[in-house]
Amino acid sequence: MKVKFYTLGCKVNQYESQALQEEFSACGFTVTEELADIYVINSCSVTAKADSDSRRLVLKAKKENPKAKIAVCGCWPQLNADAAKKIGADYVVGQDRKQSLVDIIKGITAKPKDIWSLKINGFTNQRTFVKIQDGCNNFCSFCKVPFLRGGSISRPGNDVIKEIERLEIRHKEIVLCGVNLGAYGKDLLPETSLYDLLKTILHRNSLTRLRLSSLEPNSVDERIIGLFAHPKMCPHIHLPFQNGDNRVLKEMNKKETVEMYEQIAACLRKLNPKIAISCDIIVGFPGEDEASFNNTVNFLNKIKPMRTHIFTFSSREKTRFYGQKINPVKAKARFRHLKNITDSLAMEYKMAFLGKTLNLVVEEKKSGYLCGYTENYIKLHAKGEARPGEIITVQINKVDKDKAFGIIVEGKN
């Protein structure tokens, strides 16, 4: 039987889809991009739009093949199982049972599987994700993730290392991902930390380069910052700041202050002035007034992130602000204002590398260009010849809004 996947959301979801595809293949199914007998929608529910996209993909799959079976798994059906059934899902599998999806579809009654039974041997991208943590204990007032994925749980370190051993043969860049990476190790016995795991991984001779997907700012201490001096550690960190006003941060139940954010950025740039700092920002949060919005604008102009993901506040079930209405016109205007500012800051960051060389992991060749990401997370298109997966040194000679362009200057690494 043929199985087709649609994956929404975060890097953790992308990792889990890869693991499920490998398990389907091992059980005799054929994973395809074409017409299929079974469609798996690995859903997301972090925003109202994610819910809508999950529903849309169910309907899209049913339209593509009305005779196919539809499986909806992951975060959306965790709290919205009835809604998934109502629009025609044949299998509704919440995040807490995602690891058993193949058994459920095969009709096998088996013992519940551990979440870490989902493993991968390869990845569709040349930069591979490795999931090391799941869940969150923070309960930010806007976020339903703790109700979808539960409390923080860490993957045993030896299991992480074994997976990296399998992957680093093919993949030059390892991206560690989780829902709250900074919580890694606190639930393990004996207790450990993200710093300890990173130190172990970075000491591997066969590792080429390592990246973190996202890290809560309150987890970034001097030891973590110090690791960015390691030559194998990508000089890029994504920090979900969410806002640049202390009053709003308190309403969000965030554990940080603007001053803490600014200190972290200053310490990182003291270590490496060209380090890439990307971030998340929410606009239209309940109670956000002109003063707090202006504080966020000033904060971004001070931090100068190289990339910013801007989200409009979305009312989520079980959270403190569920049902809270926002002014859509004002929120849209503030979104546009921040987008203009952050696009300009992103351009400013890329412009600093004109004429400089960076190292690119080749992911694909498109329209005559080798495409991929540099160590500092600039999307780069390069002229020249190389195979996917190779690391090439590129001199940047042009930048635009979304990417940079260059030519190979030292061949392949």
In terms of domains, do 346 and 369 share one? Answer: no
The confidence score (pLDDT) of residue 191 equals 97
Enclosing domain of residue 254 = 237-352
The confidence score (pLDDT) of residue 310 equals 98
For residue 108, the domain's CATH number is: 3.40.50.12160
In terms of domains, do 198 and 184 share one? Answer: yes
End-of-domain residue from the set 203, 219, 234: 234
End-of-domain residue from the set 185, 210, 234: 234
Nearest to 155 by CA among 177, 125, 123, 126: 177
User: Mind listing the pLDDT tens digit of every residue in the chain (413 residues)?
Assistant: 999 999 999 999 999 999 999 999 999 999 999 999 999 999 999 999 999 999 999 999 999 999 999 999 999 999 999 999 999 999 999 999 999 999 999 998 878 899 999 999 999 899 999 999 999 999 999 999 999 999 999 999 999 999 999 999 999 999 999 999 999 999 999 999 999 999 999 999 999 999 999 999 999 999 999 999 999 999 999 999 999 999 999 999 999 999 999 999 999 999 999 999 999 999 999 999 999 999 999 999 999 999 999 999 999 999 999 999 889 999 999 999 999 999 999 999 999 999 999 999 999 999 899 999 999 999 999 998 999 999 999 999 999 888 899 999 975 44
In terms of domains, do 245 and 210 share one? Answer: no
Quickly tell me which residue has 């990296």 as its tokens: 164
In terms of domains, do 247 and 308 share one? Answer: yes
The confidence score (pLDDT) of residue 403 equals 86
In terms of domains, do 20 and 84 share one? Answer: yes
The confidence score (pLDDT) of residue 110 equals 76
In terms of domains, do 44 and 136 share one? Answer: no
For residue 406, the domain's CATH number is: 2.40.50.140
Number of domains in the chain: 4
Cβ atoms of 323 and 273 closer than 8 Å: no
SS3 per-residue string spanning the chain: CEEEEEECCCHHHHHHHHHHHHHHHHCCCEECCCCCCEEEEEECCCCHHHHHHHHHHHHHHHHHCCCCEEEEEEHHHHHHHHHHHHCCCCEEEEHHHHHHHHHHHHCCCCCCCCHHHCCCCCCCCCEEEEECEECCCCCCCCCCHHHHHCCCEECCHHHHHHHHHHHCCCCCEEEEECCCHHHCCCCCCCCCCHHHHHHHHHCCCCCCEEEECCCCHHHCCHHHHHHCCCCCECCEEEEEEECCCHHHHHHCCCCCCHHHHHHHHHHHHHHCCCCEEEEEEEECCCCCCHHHHHHHHHHHHHHCCCEEEEEECCCCCCCCCCCCCCCHHHHHHHHHHHHHHHHHHHHHHHHCCCCCEEEEEEEEEECCEEEEEECCCCEEEEECCCCCCCEEEEEEEEECCCCEEEEEEEEEC
DSSP strand pairing (357-366 vs 307-312): unpaired
End-of-domain residue from the set 329, 352, 375: 352
Q: How far is CA 251 from CA 199, 216, 248, in A?
A: 35, 17, 5
In terms of domains, do 126 and 227 share one? Answer: yes
In terms of domains, do 281 and 333 share one? Answer: yes
In terms of domains, do 308 and 379 share one? Answer: no
In terms of domains, do 57 and 102 share one? Answer: yes
In terms of domains, do 167 and 244 share one? Answer: no
The confidence score (pLDDT) of residue 375 equals 98
For residue 252, the domain's CATH number is: 3.30.750.200
pTM of the model: 0.96
| Tokens found for residue 212 | 């973190």
In terms of domains, do 347 and 389 share one? Answer: no
The confidence score (pLDDT) of residue 267 equals 98
The confidence score (pLDDT) of residue 86 equals 96
CA angle (122 as vertex; 117, 126 as ends), nearest 5: 135
